[in-house]
Each structure stands twice: as structure tokens, then as C-alpha cells.
Amino acid sequence: MESVARSQSATGPDAPVSSDSTLIYRQSRWTRLTHWIWAISLFFMLLSGLQIFNARPQLYIGKQSGFGYNNTIFEIGAENTSAGPRGFTEIFGHRFDTTGVLGWSGPPGNETARGFPSWATIPSYYDLGTARVVHFFFAWILTTTLIVWLVASLVNGHIRRDLAPRLDDLKRLPRDIVDHAKLKFHHTREYNTLQKMAYGGVLFVLLPLMIITGLALSPSMNSVLPFLNEVLGGRQTARTIHFTVMLLLVGFFIIHILMILAAGPINELRSIITGWYRTDPPAHDDKTNERSA
Amino acid sequence: MAKFEISPNFQISRRKFLTAASLGASGIMLSGCDAFDSQLSIGSGLRSFLENANGLTYRAQRLLAGRDALAPEFTEADIRQPQRPNGVTAPDDDTYKGLLANNFADWRLEVSGLVEKPLSLSREQLQNMPSRTQITRHDCVEGWSCIAKWTGTPLSQVLDQAVVKPQARYVMFHCLDTIDRSLSGDIKYYGTIDLIDARHPQTILAYGLNGKPLPVENGAPLRVRVERQLGYKMPKYLYKIELVDGFANVGGGRGGYWEDNGYDWYGGI
């Protein structure tokens, strides 16, 4: 019953009409365009960011980096052992051997000491200056696109209609988690609760936090917004948060891709390229739904 | 039947999509490899296009920070360690070693170029001018930070004494340390800042660090502090300040040693 009600509201009087009743216009051009600009920007920002990190593959807590004392919470490095050079990653004092990927990597026989491996950085060789050029270029693109999306989505109702959490979302959450765990997807016009949490979390928490912590790393912006680092706990803490948010965004990306593949990649891709999305046909029992998913 | 049980059919499809997913993800990551390397070297089209953003970043920072917004200053309690030295920490140059052997008694700071009154200042003369002491955070382009107390002569006072000509736009710093070697000889560190940063109240020619004379590894006898920019904009082992109207005669033409090697000229971020 609930799913019938949901698909009816999705194809309500305001929705664009298709001759095929299950095909609905789901994503506006603003959503589609900004989505792909973000995808490209985040790709370049991630790989240039990992290159920048390689210049100092350590993370600290506080205002400064501890050289005369220890405030390092994360480190990627290389060390000489009796078995030859090994790469390691140390998190909160726990050390892991990450030879081949983190700390010590490269073509067999030509390994070098480097934080993230060459396949994960732009440029592939060590070049901090170039990585900064790439990183800051896409930082402008990403930030501008986020602002454009925010304005467009407030105007066209995308945020209010699709992303704003409702009481109903909370009630649906347990069912939603079970459905996702079973890879059982309902193709409706609306986002489900977990989707709202994921997209809302990225757009309203992670990306703004990325921009804020990025600005907090700038000595010139520190003279404009001196309170920023005080709120964040110091410049080195801001850098650690910047890195952590990167990990969360990578986590989001992986889950995002898995969910698309599981929910039907053709249909999902069509909706983010053309806007048109095939919803589940109105059904009275769950079996029909399951088959089409 | 338990709620979470998955049918055999379904399990296969899940395995399939997990395989496909990891293949897809690794494909995307692999493409990051060296696909862009050749397009990103200095002077190439894509690199020059992307560098346009540096100009935007510079203008945005200048607009927001204005002339005199101060970098945060800290307290004595924040000085928890010696200032970390970086780059050249013991110049191997004969000139420098000669000056050091005599404890810099023969060292002079030359002020030349587009000025009305060229100067040659001894350490005593500089130290007799009004000084400024500030506890600031040094941010290296690599990502680390270190808080220390710096004492020195505001650069603006030296510039006023030399009387800067109106056509001057940048202050160029000449250093005694060899940072690199090229076919045409040793390259000594050099860099530039504009007159806005040169006249910023926190821009000082530092001769003191944490209450003591500036040590060799941190740039003795004199180094620059430009507190709203990154460390590579604060040359050490200074011996000459030259007022210039452009970068044409500054190394490779991008305004500094590291700039010629790909760093942005404005190191504000």
C-alpha cells in the first residue's frame, strides 16, 4: 500500500509526462550538470590532494606539527628492515606493513619511498607545485558549482522536495536499512532515507567542511578569518579534518558506485545523464517490485 | 525463513556486481596514473590554463585580506619546540662561510635597484632601528607548521630610508645560499614579494629567533618573515634587497626560485 501511495505522489500533477507511465523526469538539468562537474572536480582534487599529502605524509593534532614533541596521529613512511625497505602506515600508534601501496611502492625493482603510490597521484611523479595548481583550480570549480547548485536547488525546489528530511523518513529508516542490506531497491521518484542522508551529508556537511578546512590551511585566509582555526582546533587539526573528510568522500563514492550497480546501472545512469528514470510499475505485492529491481 | 536470507540466485548477482564494481573503481583510479603528466609541465597549454586560477586565488585573497589584516599571533606558551629548519640549513658557499667565520662583522645588507638612496647596512645599524617581535606560525608548503618568536626590523622602515621610486613594484631578495646547480653555474636562492606585503606591519627582516640571535640553520644573519604567506616566500641568508618593476630579470621570470620550479608566486594558500 505504501509503495503505491509513493509512486502516485511521484507522478503527481506537476511532474513532466511521458507516454510510458513508468518513465519519469527525475533529475533537473541543474542537478545533472553539477553532478558531473563535481565528479570530475573531486577526481582531480583527490589525486592532486594525495600528491600534496605526500610532501608531508603525517597528520597532527593542534596548532603546529610536533617535532620536539609528539602530536602525530597518522603517518605513512618507509623504513629499512632486515628484509629490505618496507612501507608502513601508523594510525594512533598502531603500525601496519603497507609495502607496495603506502610508504614504499613502485614498479618491481624500482620501488621508492612515497606516501601514496604513483597510480593514486597527479602527477604520477613527485611534484608538489603542479599538484597545487591542479588542486586549487578544481577547488574554484567545485566551490562555484556547489553555490550554483545550492541557488538552483532552492529555486527549483530540489532541496525542499527531494532532500529535506521528513518525519516519515525516520519511520522508514529501519525498513530502508534492511532493504539496502538485501539489495532490494524500490525505484521511485523520491530518494529513500539512506539516500537523503548520504546526499545531504555530502552536500551540506562534507563538501562545506572540506572548503572550510581548506581555507583554514591558508595563512592569508587566517588573517581574514582568524577564528576559523580556533574553532577547528588549530591549523594542523584542520589539516587532519581535511584529510578525514577526504576519506569519507571516498567512502561515499565507493558506496555510491556499488548502489548504482546494484540498483540497475543503465537506469541510474540514464537519470543522471538525461534526467529520465524508470520507476517500478504500480504493484500490489512486493514480488513484482523485486523482479524489476 | 529468516528475514535476511538471500536466495541462491541473488547471491550470484551480488557477487557479479561486486566484481564489476571493484573493476570499475580500479579502472578509474588507474587512469589517474600518468595520463596527465605530459600536459602538466611548466609552459604546456593545460598547465598554463590551470594556472589562471592562481591569479584568481591571489586577487581573492588580496580583496579579502586587504593591506594590513594581521596574521594570527600566539603566546609564549605556544612555543613548544625549536623552529624547524628547512631547505638549505648550512650554506656551503665560500662567501657565506667567510662571513660566518667573522660572526657576520663584514656582512652588509645592500638595498639597491629602484630606490633614491641605495643603502648598505651593517647588522648593528639594522638592530639599532626600531624592532618588532612577533610570535607567529610558520606554515611550510609541504603542510607542516611551527610556532616561534621572531624579532627584526620592519621592512617598511628600510624601504622608507632608501626611498622607493614610484615605478618599483616588487622587492627582490638575494640570498647567499646555493639552492641548486645548473649548467650556467650555481643558483643562489632568490624571491620576490609585492610592495603591499613588503610594507605589511608583520613583514620584518628577522635577526632574532626565540629570544636569541638567528641560528645558521634558520637563516643567519638575516631572513625575511612574510607572515601571510608560506615558508618558501621567506628567504634566508639575505644580503641584498633590490627594488624591481617586474620579473624579467628575476631568474626564469616567474618571480622566484621555487616559482621557476612550478610554485605559485603568491604563497597565500
Domain boundaries, chain A: 2-28+156-292, 58-115
Out of A65, A219, A257, whose CB is closest to B227?
A219
CB atoms within 10 A of CB A231: 10
Instruction: Kindly give the residue spans of alpha helices, DSSP state H, lying in A18-127.
Output: 29-54
B30 found inside a domain: no
For residue B197, is it within any domain? Answer: yes
Answer yes or no: are the C-beta atoms of B9 and A290 closer than 8 Å: no
How far is the C-alpha of B28 from the C-alpha of B30, rounded, in Å?
A: 6
CA of B49: which chain A residue's CA is closest?
A137
User: Do the chains contact at A122 and B14, CB–CB below 8 Å?
Assistant: no
Residues 102-141 of A with CB under 8 A from B: 118-125, 127-130, 132-134, 136-137, 139-140
Query: Is A56 in CB contact (< 8 Å) with chain B?
Result: yes
Torsion of CA A201, A203, A206, A207, to 10 degrees: 180
Percent of chain A at pLDDT above 70?
A: 90
Instruction: Please report the pLDDT score of residue B63 as a whole number.
Output: 95
pLDDT tens per residue, range A230-280? 999 999 999 999 999 999 999 999 999 999 999 999 999 999 999 999 999
- In contact, B169 and B194? CB cutoff 8 Å: yes
| Cross-chain residue pair B78–A181, CB shorter than 8 Å | no
B46 touches chain A (CB under 8 A): no
Structural domain that includes position B112: 49-260
Query: Pairing state of beta strands B170-182 and B238-244?
Result: antiparallel
Please indicate whether, in this complex, the C-beta atoms of B47 and A223 are within 8 angstroms of each other. no
- pLDDT for A10 equals 41
Closest residue in A to B69 (Cα) is: A223
* Domain-located, residue B10: no
Q: B58 touching A, CB under 8 A?
A: no
Q: What is the pLDDT of residues A87-126, one digit of tens each?
A: 999 999 999 999 999 999 999 989 999 999 999 999 999 9
Whether B161 maps to a domain, the answer reads yes
pLDDT of residue B15: 54
In a domain, residue B14? The reply is no
Could you tell me if residue B36 is inside a domain? Answer: no
Interface test mutation site (partner B, options A130, A144, A215, A240, max chain B beta carbons within 10 A)? A130
| Residue indicated by cell numbers 611534484 | A127
Minimum Cα–Cα distance from B230: chain A residue: A219
DSSP for A263-276? H-HHHHHHHHHTSE
CA distance readout (Å), A206 to A195, A198, A211, A227, B100: 15, 10, 9, 20, 52
Is A81 an 8 Å CB contact of chain B?
Answer: no
Q: Residue A138 is placed in which grid cell? A: 578544481
Residue B32 lies in a domain: no
C-alpha cell at B201: 606591519
B229 and A220 within 8 Å at the Cβ level: the answer is yes
On whether residue B29 sits in a domain, the answer given is no
DSSP letter for each residue of A97-112: E-TTTSEEESSTT--E
How many domains does chain B contain in total? 1
Q: Which three cell numbers stand for residue B100?
A: 660566518
Q: In this predicted structure, what is the pLDDT of residue B77?
A: 98
CB contact under 8 A, A119 and B33: yes
The type of residue at B146 is C
Q: What is the pTM of this model?
A: 0.89
Specify the CATH number for the domain of residue B238.
3.90.420.10
Q: Grid cell 546501472 — which residue? A: A265
- Which residues of B, range 209-238, sit inside 8 Å of A by Cβ? 227-230
- Between strands B119-121 and B170-182, the pairing is unpaired
ipTM: 0.88
pLDDT class of B38 with cuts at 50, 70, 90: confident
The model's pLDDT over A119-177, given as tens digits with 9 standing for 90+, comes to 999 999 999 999 999 999 999 999 999 999 999 999 999 999 999 999 999 999 999 99
